[in-house]
Structure 1
Amino acid sequence: MNRILELIKDYDIITIYRHVSPDADALGSQYGLKQWINDTYPEKKVYALGNDDGSKVSNFPESDIVDDEIVKQSLAIILDTANGSRIDDGRWKTAAYRLKVDHHIFVEKFADEEYIEDMAGATCEILATMFLKEGMTLSKTAAQYLYSGLIADTLRYSIPSTTPQTLSTGAYLLSCGVDVQRSNEENFSTSLQQFHYENFLRSNCQVAGGQLAYIIVHKEDYERFGLSFNEAKEKVFVFGGVYDFKAWALFVEKEIDEQGIKRYNGSLRSRNTTINDIAMKHHGGGHRFACGVKNLDDEEIQTIIQEILDRINEA
């Protein structure tokens, strides 16, 4: 971890990147790190880059705008991203030096230096633990960003990768002034429209083999609840907590391609069955028990459902 701090100290210009369709961990680590650098090295120029296309969680700032020449002089820090094709701003390739910090299972090497802790619950946990071990006191703003990503990716410390260190790191962030109620409301509260949509998902899901819950949601389904694609695809958690379900999946229609074929993105979850290798076969990837797939047609969705069901039955 000292190497991360050394590189930050060495560069006067730093650009920070996240993955496409960023979640709270991608954004929390990005803006938390940016805030810490600004607080610690006010003379440095630091930019958080990405495409604000409506897929970004709303309680984070807008992305910075910077020209190509600035990027070329910068240290590029890529956060919460396992493979280069998912980085949200392709200019990271042109940076003077590239550093990756991630908690996903290794997929490919794309940076000059890479720091991966695939047993950590969140990239925010990796960064916050680094600050904790260095004995640093974070500003309330930096801690708030990091705590938001930490509780979002660990589902409030409920996933298998939660460890005593995870809880110690959360306590450390609280000691820096985090507003716990605000973080919980921003990450887990829902609107009335979303509440009705979540009930629609529960009421209309199918259960394969008594163990795999899934639903295929069409555009007209989520639009009648006033939701965007990005809002609709985040609701896979509604199937969690049912003892009978060993895995669950949400497939949401994104678009109709040039051939008139409906295309879907999917979120896959399991209780303790490895499924990330299945996701990697279908334009996706992620953690062992939580991953995503994209650009699917109806036939490929059925293939994924069968592959997950077969994996469950093998156990």
Structure 2
Amino acid sequence: MTKNSIKLLQNWLNNYDTIILHRHVRPDPDALGSQLGFKALLQKMYPNKKILATGETVDNLAFIGSMDEVQDSDYQNALVIVLDTANAARIDDARYHLGDKLVKIDHHPPVENYGDINIVDTTVSSTSELIAELLMQFGFGQDYLNTEIAERLYIGIVGDTGRFLFNNTSPRTMEIAGMLLSYDFDHTKMLNQMSQRTLESMHFQGYVLQHFSYEDHVGFIFITEDILQQFKISANDASLFVNSISDVAGIEAWVFAVDEGNQIRARIRSKRAPINTLAARYNGGGHPMASGATVYSKEELEQLISELKSTVKE
């Protein structure tokens, strides 16, 4: 992230009448918090512009905000901004390239510089924290913040820091979170909404705890389509339980794999050894301690787990 790129972004925000915001598929709280928080911020900064957010709706995170119905014609002479997405293959809504200019704003290690401007800062906890920092870089301070913006950015920061338990939580993270909390929103209610689960999903969590495997300080579980149907849970909702086994004594890393029909989505987590390079070898990527990968057979999944065990031993 350079001063020149921030200045150019600010110029483009001033000059374009339509701004369309994208983020990654299978959105988490930070993807939605940064996208919808930035949307609300831009609406306050530019009340006469058309500011749109596109992507799939996720039921359990609908409380963060809703998506817009974006038409193909909206992309004509539009500025497109993609948030919280390291590589173009993971961008939700393939029309992101139809605009006049493309900006990437992200905090993941830079896998692909697909934007005309790439504003990437891997030192921040989340893209939501980065949006708050950009507001300061624009020179506006808190002038354009309000309760709606603060609420959305806060939930994004909380999501990517694991409620401030992960090691990506810095003094600056806490400073920004404290600033956002000065606005009048019920953060306790919001955190409860984020962690709320259906009865079926809680039964599913019990299945996970009973059936995961553990060898060589690595935990792993493979959720088949039959199991998803048995517990009436979607693949996306199942993935919310990726950290269910994280408190096992001695565990260093784990894989939570879900069969999505044409592919197996493997979420990889680690407490010590970086695993984003491993994820990149399996059609994925992400943070050093939290990444995702995609494999296409059980055998390939077993190979990934084997390599994870080797990574932990190094």
TM range (shorter): over 0.9
1:3, distance to aligned residue in structure 2 (A): 4.3
- Partner amino acid for 1:212? V
Shift in alpha-carbon separation, 1:220–1:113, aligned structure 2, 3 A:
same
> With structure 1 as the length reference, what TM-score do the two structures score?
0.92
1:55, distance to aligned residue in structure 2 (A): 7.3
1:114 has 2:105 as partner: no
Q: Given the alignment, which residue of 250, 253, 266 partners 2:256?
A: 250
Q: In 2, distance between residues paired with 1:152 and 1:98?
A: 26
- Partner amino acid for 1:94? L
Give a deviation string over 1:261-292, Cα, whole Å, max 9, x none.
xx321110000111111111111111111011
1:223, distance to aligned residue in structure 2 (A): 2.4
State the match for 1:104 in structure 2.
108
State the match for 1:273 in structure 2.
273
| Secondary structure at 1:222 match in 2 | helix
* Preserved CA contact (<8 Å) 2:85 2:91: yes
- Partner amino acid for 1:108? E
1:136 has 2:142 as partner: yes
* Preserved CA contact (<8 Å) 2:39 2:53: yes
Give a deviation string over 1:169-193, Cα, whole Å, max 9, x none.
1011111223211221122233332
Shift in alpha-carbon separation, 1:90–1:230, aligned structure 2, 3 A:
same
Q: In 2, distance between residues paired with 1:268 and 1:50?
A: 24
State the match for 1:180 in structure 2.
187
> With structure 2 as the length reference, what TM-score do the two structures score?
0.92
Q: In 2, distance between residues paired with 1:2 and 1:237?
A: 39
5 Å-filtered alignment, 1:151-170, equals 151-170=158-177
- Partner amino acid for 2:9? I
* Preserved CA contact (<8 Å) 1:17 1:76: yes
Q: How many residues align?
A: 306
State the match for 1:296 in structure 2.
296
1:12, distance to aligned residue in structure 2 (A): 1.4
| Secondary structure at 2:48 match in 1 | coil
1:241, distance to aligned residue in structure 2 (A): 2.6
Identical columns (%): 30
1:128, distance to aligned residue in structure 2 (A): 1.6
1:37, distance to aligned residue in structure 2 (A): 1.1
* Preserved CA contact (<8 Å) 2:9 2:117: no
Q: CA RMSD for the aligned pairs? A: 1.7
- Partner amino acid for 2:61? V
5 Å-filtered alignment, 1:1-315, equals 1-52=6-57, 57-132=61-136, 134-137=140-143, 138-209=145-216, 211-255=217-261, 257=262, 263-314=263-314
Pick which of 290-299 and 150-159 moved more: 290-299
